[in-house]
Structure 1
Amino acid sequence: MEELVARHNPWWSGEQDIALARWGSWRVKWIPGWLEDLGLTPFSLNFVVGPRQVGKTTGIKLLIKRLLERCDPEGIFYFNCDFLPDLSSLRKVLDKYLDIKKVEGIENAYIFLDEITSVREWWRIIKGYIDLGVFEEDVITITGSSSLRLRGEAELFPGRRGMGRDITVYPLSFREFLRVNGLEVEARGDPEEDMGRLYKREYEVRGLFEIYLETGGFPLSINREPTADEQFIAALESETLKAGHSVQLTKEIIASIMRKAPSPISFSTIGREIGVSYKTVQQYCEALKNLFVLETALYRGDGIEWRKERKFFFLDNFAAKALSLWSGEKPLEGAVYEWMVQSHLQRRFGSVYYFRDRYEIDSIAGDLKVEVKIGKPHRRYPRDVLILDEENIHLFLSVI
């Protein structure tokens, strides 16, 4: 255990961290903005949640690099909890560091526990030590890949968060992708007016959009890591098994969604196709949502209708591409563009809906109504519906 702890903290012996060395070799690299939102004043208990491969660990290591400029190396502790088989091992790792902290005379420590949701009932140790006052002069940052597990367990710490914050890390949006590639886009809040101001840079935006279609917003795919899709799928399979779900059934559900997209469908429709109950499909889709893979747009007419068919969409186009290869189903081109619009609106407004009557509106979010007409026949729409096609979808995504 002692050697494993030391390997996780190479700065204690003046060595370079491998994650930072990898980051330094990337062609496209950036310092994540969410680092500025963390509570770093003792006592703080931060929770950082986001999909695997999204850059949570790299972000933490970049923060550690910054902290090393003003802190003793032994005052910074990092551990990847994927290495821990059980709760007892977590306690031993923490006790080992607390011994080091005492010997080195560290008053204020920064403790980073990565992917802690790998350890069942991890919160028992952290909560117990907080109640004992063990961490009262420290900053603890905990990360996880399952929003249900981490967010749900974070609620077990009422009055024990101090200055801590909740952070959700997503793949880069197209606007963020433009920024890390050196193109800053101003958005004042009116998408159509913002799009109009971009036409002078339309050629540049379109070129980067063609790249974004392939890479999405994950760091490895943006930097053309050859195994990025394999790593994404391996992480998904691992999280699926941890949830007690079947990898094969997950694949079949995703394949069914790919085949039917972008049409609204029900859990029952998917279940009948693959031979399981609607309840099973619902549970699996909820698990994919908690892993930041899948989202749904409910029908909204006079109100939100929970029982109607829903539109499923993937939260990143690189993830959708990897899942398409994994499931063996290629979605319609129009579905891919629609997913991109829905995922961007989801992140901005928190929820997305659709409408279907004499005409269809793919995405309703906030006061926006958006229809993606790529691969569809053109019809007349009310004036308050924004129509997106091959000529302007990249401009819309750059300002939303």
Structure 2
Amino acid sequence: MLNINALYQVLQDSQKIPNINVIERRKYINFLKSNIDAKPIKVISGFRRSGKSYLLKQLVLFLKEHKSINGKNIFFINFEHDLLFNNRKLEDLRKLFELFKENIWEKGKIYIFLDEIQLIEGWESFVRTLYEAGQENYDIYITGSNSSLLSSEFSSALSGRDINMTVYPFSLKEFLNFNKLNIISEGDFYENKILIKKLFHEYFLHGGIVESFSLNKEFKKNYFESLFRKVLLDDIIKRFNVRDINVIENLYRFIISDIASVLSPKNLQNSLIRNQYKLSVPTLYTYINYLVESFALFEMKKFDWKLHSIFDKNSKYFLIDNGLISALSINRRDIEEKLLENLIFMHLKRQGLEIYYGRDDKGKEIDFLVKKANKFTKIQVTLELNDLNYARELNNFVLAEKHNIKGENIILTMDDNEEEILYKNIKIQKKNVLKWMLF
């Protein structure tokens, strides 16, 4: 068990803000500020290194500087701190809090920040006890790197006592802001177009995880390999007691190499068998679910536009960040097309939209169907629209119209020119993906 000096060290280190250039992520920090002293438990989840801890540290700074909260009223524990390596049991958490109250806290409400709380088995009972003590006593914030914090398991334990948000790696706009470009209008865009396109290419290839921004190409690859193994080890292998790390690692690499494609369990199974890994289809699905829970993968389900139904099978999968695809993909063929589709999926995901892909029984499909009320925005994606792919890309909009899928038609490309296309009496907006993401 930690002594009081070690606890002081953990509390101090957990709140320390690194001296790096990081923008204020207004969407997230405003959510937290607007819920200060609100009774529900504030739950912040998301992929590792997406900025959850930094947001909590910014909030602590705001509490001290703008709300005049005494530092002695802040209990901030990062459970990944090395001094806590052997103190991650529920009784350890309770003892740490008692030690804090007996030796540091003096009076008034305690602001509690529990960072990477999923490392403490049974943490829900501790949090529930504090919650039931009343909002006049405690204001509680927790973070975690797996979606179980938002799961039915968590919800049933806390019975709707929480409000939540998911934190993602930097969006394109945030990445540009980080690089001192605040693009608000099309005038700003055209004034800085050359630099924006250069930065977009960097973001397109290497994603929005801040820690990787200052690294050169080779170190970026090493960074994402290391991050990938950290997620596998801490968020999957240890949490779910997976015995063979090599099987799930190779499964993830195969999925990455076939990102944005319809996954056939049999093909995945055969790929593993060819590499000397035997895995049943049910276990394969279990492992995929583990990857989804850790935010390493996102599932996009099929919408059958003929039947107007959503199917649980034949899903596509996408990654949290393009940097992982560039670093880990085994198959480099068509990788730019995959990166583009992944970029667009994550742009839509950040907005909390309901996203599917559309497909009929003949295999014709629309890349993205974005549901808004009773309509679907239909989005087709290609690096460029040319004579070779023109009919193929646009015919899918025709098929969707035949099945009465109403809504806007958009084709996103890397081309600079934008136009409205009239194809077989269907209006299709051809848009540049960079401008579409910014405006």
Structure 1 length as normaliser, TM-score? 0.83
Residue 57 of structure 2 aligns with an amino acid whose one-letter code is: K
Aligned pairs for 1:237-248 (under 5 A) are 237=232, 238-241=234-237, 242-245=239-242, 246-248=244-246
> SS at the partner of 1:309?
strand
Q: Any unmatched runs of 5+ in structure 2?
A: 273-277, 399-407, 416-431
CA shift, 1:160, in A, is: 4.3
Distance 2:312 2:263 in 1: 11
CA contact (8 A) 2:204 2:343 kept: no
CA distance in 2, matches of 1:220, 1:272: 36
The structure-2 alpha-carbon separation of the partners of 1:153 and 1:308, relative to structure 1 and needing over 3 Å to count, comes to: closer
Task: Work out the CA distance in 1 between the residues paired with 2:40 and 2:107.
Answer: 17
Q: For residues 234-259 of structure 1, what are the alpha-carbon distances to aligned partners after superposition, in whole Å with 9 as ceiling and x for unaligned?
A: 32122121222242122221222234
Match 1:379 to one of 369, 390, 402: 390
Would the alpha carbon gap of residues 297 and 121 (structure 1) be closer, same or farther in structure 2, given more than 3 Å must change? same
- Inter-partner Cα distance in structure 2 for 1:197 and 1:179: 13
Residues of 2 paired with 1:207 and 1:282: CA distance? 39
Find the counterpart in structure 2 of residue 353 from structure 1: 356
Residue in structure 2 matched with residue 13 of structure 1 by the alignment: none
Distance in 1, Cα, partners of 2:99 & 2:154: 24
Q: Number of residues paired by the alignment? A: 374
State which of 12, 25, 42 in structure 2 corresponds to 1:32.
25
Q: Tell me the equivalent position of 1:369.
A: 378
1:336 paired with 2:330, answer no
Return closer, same or farther for 1:159/1:344 CA change in 2, 3 Å cut-off. closer
Contact 1:267-1:279 within 8 A present in 2 as well: no
Aligned to 1:212: 203
Identity %: 23
Does residue 59 of structure 1 match 2:55? yes
Rg comparison, structure with higher value = 2
Match of 2:74 among 73, 76, 96: 76
Farther-moved stretch of structure 1 (32-41 vs 350-359): 350-359
Q: CA offset at residue 221 of structure 1? A: 1.4
| Aligned counterparts, 1:115-194, within 5 A | 115-131=116-132, 133=133, 136-151=136-151, 152-158=153-159, 160-161=161-162, 165-186=163-184
Instruction: Mark the CA change 1:136 to 1:343 in structure 2 (over 3 Å): closer, same or farther.
Output: same
Look up the match of 1:191. none
Map Cα deviations across residues 1-41 of structure 1 (whole Å, 9 max, x no partner): 1233111223xxxxx87841x2x2x3x41123212212211
CA distance in 2, matches of 1:248, 1:231: 15
Comparing 89-98 with 274-283, greater Cα deviation is found at 274-283
Supply the distance in 1 between the matched residues of 2:280 and 2:336 (Cα, whole angstroms): 30
* Structure 2 equivalent of residue 203 of structure 1: 194
Q: Does the 8 Å CA contact 1:74/1:100 hold for their aligned counterparts?
A: no
> Normalising by the residue count of structure 2, what TM-score does the alignment of the two structures yield?
0.77
CA distance in structure 1 between the partners assigned to 2:79 and 2:348 by the alignment: 33
Is 1:7 the counterpart of 2:14? The answer is no
- The higher relative CO (CA closer than 8 Å, separation ≥ 6) is in 1
Q: 1:40 to 1:354 in 2, by over 3 A?
A: same
CA shift for structure 1 position 216: 1.2
**Paired residue type of 1:71:** I
Question: What's 1:271 paired with?
Answer: 269
TM superposition shift of 1:145: 0.6
1:325-358 CA distances to partner (integer Å, 9 max, x unpaired)? xxx4446221111111112122224332222457
* 3-state SS, counterpart of residue 172 of structure 1: coil
Q: Given residue 137 of structure 1, which amino acid in structure 2 is its aligned partner?
A: N
Aligned CA distance change for structure 1 residues 127 and 243 (closer, same or farther; 3 Å): same
- Residue identity opposite 1:373 in structure 2: T
Report the counterpart of residue 114 of structure 2 in structure 1.
Answer: 113
Deviation at 1:42, TM superposition (A): 5.7
Task: Using the TM superposition, give the Cα deviation of residue 136 of structure 1 relative to its aligned residue in structure 2, in angstroms.
Answer: 4.0
Distance (whole Å) between structure 1 residues aligned to residue 161 and residue 318 of structure 2: 36
Structure with the bigger percentage of strand? 2
Give the Å deviation of 1:230. Answer: 4.4
